[in-house]
Amino acid sequence: MKIGRVHSWKKVLAQLLLLALPTVILFFYLLWNLNRFYTILENEWLKQGCYFMVGIVIATVFYAWRFRFITTVALLVLIYFGIYHYVGSITVGEFDAFYLSVQFIVFIFLFSAGWLAGFGFSRSKYFTIFWSVLLLTVQIVVVSKTSDIKVNALISAFAPVLAYSFYIIYTAELIRNMNEDETRFSCFIIKRITGFLLVMLVMFLVIFNFFKSDFKAIEKEWGNAQANYDKGNDKKENMNQTDAHGNMSNKDQTKLSGSLSKDKQLVFVAKLDNYFDDGKTPNPLYFTSCYYTKFDTLTQTFERDSLMPYNDLFEPDVSRIPLYFAKSDSVVIKNTFATKNRKVVIADVYKVILPPSKYMAPSTGFFCQPMSVPREYKEQYKSSYRAKMWVSELNSAYFVYNPAGNVQLEKFQELRFQKLREVKKIAGPDKKFMDYYTFMPRNAEYKKITELARKVTANSPLPIDKMIAIRDYFLSKDEYKQPLFKYSDNPGIPGLPSANKLTYFLFENRKGYCAYFAGATLFMLRSLGIPSRVVAGYLTVDRSSKNPGWYWFYANQAHAWVQVYFQDYGWIDFDTTVPDVNTQQATQPDGTPPSNMPQTYLVADGEVINVDTTKKQIQMSVEKLLYHDKDFLPSGKREILTDVSIATITADTGAVKLSSLKKGMHITAVSFAEILKNILPDKKDNLEAVVNRLPLPVPIDEVKVMSKEELQKRNKKKEEAVGEPIDWIKAGWVVLLVIAMLVVLLFLSPWFIWQFLNAKAGSVNSQKAYNSYRASLYYLNQLGYSRDNKGPQEYAYSIDLKFGSEFSQFSSLYQKVKYSSQPLSESDISTINEFYKPFIKLVRGKTKWTIRFSKFLNIYNTIHYFSHPKLNS
């Protein structure tokens, strides 16, 4: 049996190169993107892309012959089924079977997608439209699943697919209509596609130019996108590593400490100004990095969620705030909903290997002021900042970590419980908040957790008692007087890969590290309807009696615990992790703390106007002033006289002499002088008033000279900082506008083409007859009188019959011009020259404008005009 061909080899080649190849490239990109969000794909996007590629290539070539779709697909399904059974029969062990079957299903899915695409490109006329819509839908689903929706994510998700959609619909149509006998077909198609790409390019350029200012912000985000991808890589490594250990992955853990391993590297040092009521005993607090408010059941991962209601996480980029200038966010305080037993606490953090941009403070931080590290400690600490927090007096690391029988602490605890017992009922600010923080997955596994939680807290009516009951449950002993739960860094994995690790931890293994305890506690609390969340950060250990208030943080102190919401008291830390006997006993070496950071009262930023080396005074302009942690901006030019007799003057290169300061240099002057302490600014004060109140000359302790580069960098940062809050609603509008413009352009394209042809017809040249004829033909075609299969004369007669025109006369003359070698007579030439305009006018006059308008802008007519008839139609 000989099977006939549908497409020639030439056409198949064109399909492979121009349709399949871009599709495969796009798929590689999509799969790469998907792999970042779905662990089930195992990060094998290259392999998966190849599955798709093989599918599409085979199908494209295969369907170039006259094969039926249904029968061939049925056969394919049969083959799948056979292989699936075969694979099932040769694999040994549940795990292998599970792994292989998942992989095989992924393969089947991708291969079939490729197969379908190949068939569609080969045979179906409307497939590309359907395909584009499908891909866009997939992208929408993927984007909606991602945790952080940003403009760059939106653009990187949609721009390639949109561009691809335009391209594929256009090119598929081009190939479908291709004239296979055209000897210079490749030349033709290259010409067309180049034209198309140019049009796209011009369109995008115009749009980008038009919305330049809006896109600038987006462009900047693109720069940052790199960092996000890096983060993705981090996650990957982390995930792989933890998976190998059978741990629950804790995505940002890597970012916190470098790795999950029990590393003794120093991460940062902090001085925390938090003391018990006696004012002497330091009260350490856990340092919060971020909140995990979402749990992905599929991958068993706790995640951050940008959709968190009432975001109370203050996350400034510390490296972007100019030295000594502060950034604060009062919304954070508002979002804590805490009014009782709260106070403002100050912490000075000295970074060692903490990333420069990272901000870390006990909850709830709201203020950040980068400080300079004293020169003698520059080697030890990279940078430092001062943080202010809205801290609950009921929080203490002593409680959350290890009460350990200390009488004073137990007394404090009891006090704290008494306070919290005032909260009689579970309540939050609103329903949205409650729904969000008490959400838990519903299935049998979680039901078991609920039952356990109910059992454990059966005798505890108040929320705080429930919390204590849960903590006690983790600390309880079994019938052999052995601790029920043990701490372990390598708790092992359940036998079945898909099994729930939390229930495994709670009911079988009972070994785990902080994330297990925190996670289990979280779901026990949530199952009781108590709003709670997991916190990632560092636990604080007070080991030093020498330096009260100073704490050292090592990599192995990275920790996760729970925060519970109590009405009016806000989020309170609770730690249910049982003590790890091993690490508790090994004390860490504490270093000597850097000298206390003095309180800065005044920071002035400006240019040097005059330097008096004898009096050691500098006259400087003030461009920006920070006074008692309040920012002031001058309304006009303002100068102050400063006394720098005791000041250390530093530049990037090190200490410099006063005499080297020149007029016009940019300096930052800092004062720690005690006399400024009591000159407090009023709320209403502006910069003028503050400066007027200052004692002149103002005593200055530190002068920092800005180099030009630094100044530029700072200005740039400022610019960026201005553009930083990207209004992605606005960006969304821009995208919508762009799409709308494209649509309008598409709709108006018949008219543009008409204008083009019309203009050509008007010009006088040797091709005039041709141009006039084509323009008339186009005009008539747009009005619904297409020539189709009619011969020119036949068509002309039918038009004349309709409009009473003289089209046939012109048409026959045109044929004469085109196909005969006879010269035209004078009258013939004048007929040709004077035909076009009156004809169009006549036709226009005889068609109602509403019909004209609606038909004229019908793009199908235009496509019909330009499409070539098919041989097989």
The contact set with another protein (CB under 8 A) reads: 4, 179, 181, 766-767, 769-770, 774, 777, 787-794, 812, 815-823, 868-873
Q: Is 204 or 770 the residue whose CB approaches another protein more closely?
A: 770
CA atoms within 13 A on the CB side of 557: 25
CB 138 within 8 A of CB 7: no
Q: Is 195 or 791 the residue whose CB approaches another protein more closely?
A: 791
Minimum CB distance to another protein, residue 845 (Å): 26
Distance CA(699)–CA(680), nearest Å, equals 16
Q: Is 11 or 510 the residue whose CB approaches another protein more closely?
A: 11
49's tokens? 């892309």
For tokens 């330009």, what's the residue?
866
Distance CA(853)–CA(848), nearest Å, equals 9
Q: Is 155 or 813 the residue whose CB approaches another protein more closely?
A: 813
Q: Is 177 or 660 the residue whose CB approaches another protein more closely?
A: 177
CB-based contacts of 165: which residues, under 8 Å, 6+ apart?
132, 135, 136
Minimum CB distance to another protein, residue 753 (Å): 14
CB 470 within 8 A of CB 541: no
CB 546 within 8 A of CB 519: no
Minimum CB distance to another protein, residue 762 (Å): 17
Minimum CB distance to another protein, residue 220 (Å): 49
Q: Is 532 or 808 the residue whose CB approaches another protein more closely?
A: 808
Q: Is 733 or 865 the residue whose CB approaches another protein more closely?
A: 865
The sign one gets for the Cα dihedral 44, 50, 56, 62 is: negative
Q: Is 306 or 793 the residue whose CB approaches another protein more closely?
A: 793
Distance CA(555)–CA(575), nearest Å, equals 18
Q: Is 339 or 793 the residue whose CB approaches another protein more closely?
A: 793
User: What stretch of H or E contains 631?
Assistant: strand 630-632
628's tokens? 């008692």
Distance CA(547)–CA(269), nearest Å, equals 12
Q: Is 435 or 794 the residue whose CB approaches another protein more closely?
A: 794
Minimum CB distance to another protein, residue 748 (Å): 24
Q: Is 132 or 808 the residue whose CB approaches another protein more closely?
A: 808
User: What is the gyration radius of the CA atoms in the chain, in angstroms?
Assistant: 37
Interior angle at CA 718, CA 714 and CA 719, nearest 5: 120
List phi, psi (to 5°) of 135: -65, -40
Strands 266-272 and 511-512: unpaired
Minimum CB distance to another protein, residue 209 (Å): 35
Q: Is 68 or 684 the residue whose CB approaches another protein more closely?
A: 68
Minimum CB distance to another protein, residue 812 (Å): 8
CA 344 to chain centre: 33
276's tokens? 């018990």
CB-based contacts of 263: which residues, under 8 Å, 6+ apart?
257, 554, 555, 556
Minimum CB distance to another protein, residue 807 (Å): 14
- Please, where are the H alpha helices in 528-635? 581-585
Neighbours of 3 (CB within 10 A): 8
Q: Is 425 or 868 the residue whose CB approaches another protein more closely?
A: 868
Strands 666-671 and 702-706: antiparallel
Longest dimension (CA), the chain: 122
317's tokens? 């980029």
Minimum CB distance to another protein, residue 813 (Å): 11
Minimum CB distance to another protein, residue 127 (Å): 22
Distance CA(502)–CA(516), nearest Å, equals 7
Minimum CB distance to another protein, residue 790 (Å): 8
- Please, where are the H alpha helices in 39-150? 45-62, 69-90, 94-123, 127-145
Burial of 854 (0-12, 13-18, 19+ CB in 10 A): exposed
Minimum CB distance to another protein, residue 824 (Å): 12
Distance CA(830)–CA(835), nearest Å, equals 8
Minimum CB distance to another protein, residue 829 (Å): 14
Q: Is 176 or 533 the residue whose CB approaches another protein more closely?
A: 176
Minimum CB distance to another protein, residue 122 (Å): 16
List phi, psi (to 5°) of 488: -155, 135
